[in-house]
């Protein structure tokens, strides 16, 4: 019974840590001096949200949070690739 309590506290700590990490990268997205800093911060926010979904799914015992995490990962990659291409060339598809 004691190990269950340890795992429960660990999952709560992981959720709080991922929320703090989301807040820190959101600060960098708001105050980043140039555009590439903001794009990097948005990419980090996607990854942190994906890990937060995984941890919430572990806490609930629900497998369906995994699919949300997968969708967030794919969207994060597409967003970062498009934004980097736009910063590089001025157009996304040429």
Partner 1 sequence: MSHLNNLSPIIAILVAVLVVLGSSLALLGSLGLVRLRSFYQRLHAPTLSYSYGALLIIIGSMMMFSLLEERLVVHELVIGIFMLITTPISLLMLGRAGLRRDRDAKLGHDEIVPPRISPGAGIEIPARDLSEYGEGMMDRRILSRSAKVEGQTDISTDEPGGSD
Report if residue 92 touches partner 1, rule: CB under 8 A. Answer: no
Q: Phi-psi region for residue 34, left (φ > 0), alpha (ψ -120 to 50) or beta?
A: beta
Longest dimension (CA), the chain: 60
Please give the structure tokens belonging to residue 66: 């995994």
Tell me if 61 contacts partner 1 by CB under 8 A. yes
Of 9-28, binders to partner 1 (CB under 8 A) are 9-11, 13-14, 17-18, 20-22, 24-25, 27-28
Nearest-approach distance from CB 33 to partner 1, in angstroms = 5
Measuring CA to CA, which residue among 1, 47, 54, 5 is closest to residue 24? 47
Indicate whether 3 belongs to the interface with partner 1 (CB under 8 A). Answer: yes
Residue 4, classified by CB atoms within 10 Å of its CB into exposed (0-12), middle (13-18) or buried (19+), is exposed
Binding site for partner 1 (CB under 8 A): 1-4, 6-11, 13-14, 17-18, 20-22, 24-25, 27-28, 33-37, 39-41, 43-44, 47-48, 50-51, 54-55, 57-59, 61, 63, 66, 69-70, 73-74, 77, 80-81, 84-85, 87-88, 90
């Amino acid at each position: 019974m004691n190990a269950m309590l340890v795992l429960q506290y660990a999952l709560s700590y992981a959720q709080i840590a991922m929320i703090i990490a989301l807040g820190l990268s959101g600060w960098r997205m708001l105050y980043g001096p140039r555009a590439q800093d903001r794009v990097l911060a948005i990419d980090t926010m996607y990854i942190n949200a994906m890990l937060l979904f995984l941890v919430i799914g572990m806490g609930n015992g629900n497998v369906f949070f995994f699919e949300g995490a997968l969708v967030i990962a794919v969207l994060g990659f597409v967003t970062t690739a498009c934004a980097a291409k736009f910063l590089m060339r001025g157009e996304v598809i040429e």
